Every structure is written in C-alpha cells, then in structure tokens.
C-alpha cells in the first residue's frame, strides 16, 4: 500500500494509543470512587494496541511506536528506508493525542500539569522513586521483551490471526510491571506527546525514553533474527 496511507494509519493508531492509554491515566485512574487504578491503565494501553492491530494492522503493520519500527528493521521485517516517515507519523500522532487529552483534562477545575500528565520520568519523577539506572534497565528489558512478543507472534510460523491478542496482552503485562518504575514508556512517541505539555523536567528526561526503548528493540530484533530466524515478509 502507498507509504502515505500507511503513515496516515500510523498517525491515527498512535493518536489512539496516547489518547486512550494516557487518557485513562489522566482522566480515570483516580476518579473518585470508580477509579480504574494501575490495573485499568495497564489494560487501557493493551486495548489500544489490540484494537488498532485489528483496525490498521493490514494497512501499516500497526507499529505505533518508533522503537517497534526500529526493532522490526533490526529483525529484517521492515524496510530501513521507511523508518523516518513512520517515526514522524507516530510522533505527530502522539502529540495530537496529548493535545486532545489536554483540552479535555484542562476542562476540569483543579487540573494541573504539575501532576505529571502521564509523563515518564526517573529519580524524583519516577512514580516509585526509582533511580536512573533502574529506570534505564526497566525500559530496555521491557521493550526487549515486547519486541520478542511482536516478532514471535507475527512470525509466519506462528498461529495466524492471534498476534493482536498476544501483543495487546504483552503490552498490558509490561505496564503492570513498569508503571511504578517510570510510568512506563517503551515507546518514544507515547513519551514525547505528554512531555511537550509538561515541559521542564519531562523534556529534560525525555532522552531516556527514546534511547532505552530503541536500544532494547534493536537488540531484540537482532536476537530474534539470529536465534530463531527472520520468518515473515519484509515491509
């Protein structure tokens, strides 16, 4: 399919991931008496990927994440020449998702960006106060495992039609593990949108949520291709 149409699908899909996932954290996690909590937020992120995988997976591959795109290139599943257009579309989608979320969230009295706006952070800005090293390891390892799930579930030798379920549940699981550590990123586009609105510390710490996920994804792509073969079609 035309690259422009595939990038448009990535933009809409990443918008849904950020608006749905971060929106659940900002709007619903601690809502009085019926808040969905950490478990609900984790499932919300997983459901955004699950639903979009079925909606646009046949169009763009449903990466929704610069780290996933890089990991698929490293695993010989995607063309390196198309990394930049995909990443631009994903980041724009993440920013638009955060923008819409901001418009809604700021409509409530008492809204304050200082509460974090679902931004990712380490040290004093880690939900659990985890160090830079701990947060770096968590983002690297969790992205690595997420890519192994993606590469395995979409392998031509795997059972067909179930990949979105495995990937969506995989994202849910890593959020259950990682939200207390960094608010969980494993996705530079997801991190960039909220950080642009929070500014200050969120932008200063954003580098980690690009570097660690991309490195983890790239290593996973090489490991899967080397150990298990690069079954599946490129592109």
SS (H, E, C) 7-72: HHHHHHHHHHHHHHHHHHHHHHCCCCCCCCHHHHHHHHHHHHHHHHHHHHHHHHCCCCCHHHHHHH
Q: What would the mean pLDDT of 215-222 be, rounded to a whole number? A: 98
Instruction: Give tens-digit pLDDT for 27-69.
Output: 998 766 667 899 999 999 999 999 999 999 999 999 999 999 9
Residue 31 confidence (pLDDT): 64
Instruction: Give tens-digit pLDDT for 179-203.
Output: 999 999 999 999 999 999 999 999 9
Task: Note the pTM of the prediction, 2 decimals.
Answer: 0.94
DSSP state of 159: P
**Whole-number mean pLDDT of the chain?**
94
Q: Which CATH class is domain 3-228?
A: mainly alpha
Residue 116 confidence (pLDDT): 87
Q: Is the pLDDT of residue 94 over 70?
A: yes
Q: How many helices (H) and strands (E) does the chain have?
A: 10, 0
Residue 235 confidence (pLDDT): 40
């Amino acid at each position: 399919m035309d690259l422009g149409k595939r990038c448009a699908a990535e933009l809409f899909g990443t918008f849904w991931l950020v608006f749905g996932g971060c929106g659940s954290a900002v709007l619903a996690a601690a809502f009085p008496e019926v808040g969905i909590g950490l478990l609900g937020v984790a499932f919300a992120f997983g459901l955004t990927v699950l639903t979009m995988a079925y909606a646009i997976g046949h169009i763009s591959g449903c990466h929704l994440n610069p780290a996933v795109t890089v990991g698929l290139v490293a695993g010989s599943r995607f063309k390196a020449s198309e990394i930049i257009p995909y990443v631009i579309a994903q980041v724009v989608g993440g920013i638009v998702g955060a923008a819409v979320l901001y418009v809604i969230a700021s409509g409530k009295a008492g809204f304050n960006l200082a509460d974090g706006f679902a931004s990712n952070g380490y040290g004093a800005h880690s939900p659990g106060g985890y160090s830079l090293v701990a947060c770096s390891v968590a983002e690297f390892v969790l992205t690595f495992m997420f890519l192994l799930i993606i590469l395995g579930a979409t392998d031509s030798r795997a059972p067909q039609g179930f990949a979105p379920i495995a990937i969506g549940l995989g994202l849910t699981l890593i959020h259950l593990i990682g939200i207390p550590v960094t608010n969980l990123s494993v996705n530079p586009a997801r991190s960039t949108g909220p950080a642009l609105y929070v500014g200050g510390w969120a932008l200063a710490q954003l580098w980690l949520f690009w570097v660690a996920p991309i490195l983890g994804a790239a290593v996973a792509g090489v490991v899967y291709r080397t150990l298990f073969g690069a079954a599946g079609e490129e592109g």
